[in-house]
Structure 1
Amino acid sequence: MKKTAAVDAKGLTLSVYRNAQYTTDFTLGGLTGRHNAVTLVGFQTPDDEDEDRAFYPLTGMHVTRLPKGCEVFAPTEHAPAVILRYSAALDTRAPRHMHLAPVDAGPRRGMAGGNYAGTSDSRLPELMEQLTGYRQHIIAVHDRFEG
């Protein structure tokens, strides 16, 4: 898998899922508070993240492209680009979790705003199994930024 600028890549279109019980936007204007779909275009490996921290602040990011079979749709203004990132874990013995993050956030770390994204496309859970060791159909989106 090659590294690329995430905006040059194609990926999988994911639907955004919100809690229907609330009308409040808990993302504080985040990507999933404004869009009903996102396009997963790549992921950051632990090595990519180390490079980002070493060169912070970056104008671009180190992102690993999705496998060829997952490069289907280009991001659009209605389905902007997101990447997968490893979530922080207190228990290092547990399997690592991943979350989605907006590409335009750069190396900044957001937090969960309560929204998720996923698809019925089998390529997403297959990719998640490769990256984390278990299948995952729905993924938390960390698109809330404060301050």
Structure 2
Amino acid sequence: MGVLDERRARTGRITSLPSGCTPHGVRSHVGGHEQISPTVAVRIRRHAFIEGSYAALVRVEWNADRRRYELTESGRVVMFGGNYAGTSDSRLGELSERYLGHRSMILPIHDRIED
């Protein structure tokens, strides 16, 4: 899991999770070394018409040519499809509080694709 913070600009740059948020999951590549990491990122964006930001889980994949993670559906409109991810682990709440200013123990999954 990584963080795609698009509150200021849409760079497509997926950064590592903050210290203490160690992911568990499939094998991935970071800095030329194989690591364990799921293929999702927490995407953080600003609301269009109200103050504040929101977070959602989006799919990412490793681009071997660019040697970085990128959105799986880059260039397509991906939105909430009715699914949520949640946990009782406090690290998700801490992560949301860090980026959003409030704790959230569930996140919407943006898995619906519109062309």
TM-score for the superposition, normalised by structure 2:
0.69
Q: 1:134 to 1:47 in 2, by over 3 A?
A: closer
Residue number in structure 2 paired with 1:113:
81
- Tell me the CA shift for residue 69 of structure 1: 1.2
Greater share of strand: 2
Rounded to whole Å, the distance in 2 between the matches of 1:50 and 1:90 is 14
2: CA distance, partners of 1:96 / 1:48: 11
| Pair 132,139 (structure 1): closer, same or farther in 2 beyond 3 Å | same
Q: Which residue of 2 aligns with 1:72?
A: 23
Contact 1:48 1:63 in 2 (8 A): no
> What 5-or-longer segments of structure 1 have no aligned partner?
1-40, 53-61
Larger helix share, 1 or 2:
1
**Is it true that 1:127 corresponds to 2:95 in the alignment?**
yes
Q: Percent identity?
A: 36
Work out the number of aligned pairs and report it: 95
In structure 2, the CA distance between the partners of 1:127 and 1:80, relative to structure 1 (3 Å rule), is closer
**8 A contact 2:21–2:91 mirrored in 1:** yes
How large is the Cα RMSD of the aligned pairs? 2.4
The amino acid that maps onto 1:146 is E
Instruction: For 2:4, give the aligned amino acid.
Output: Q
Residue by residue over 1:59-91, the C-alpha shift from the partner in whole angstroms, topping out at 9 and shown as x without a partner, is: xxx211102311231337xx9521111245222
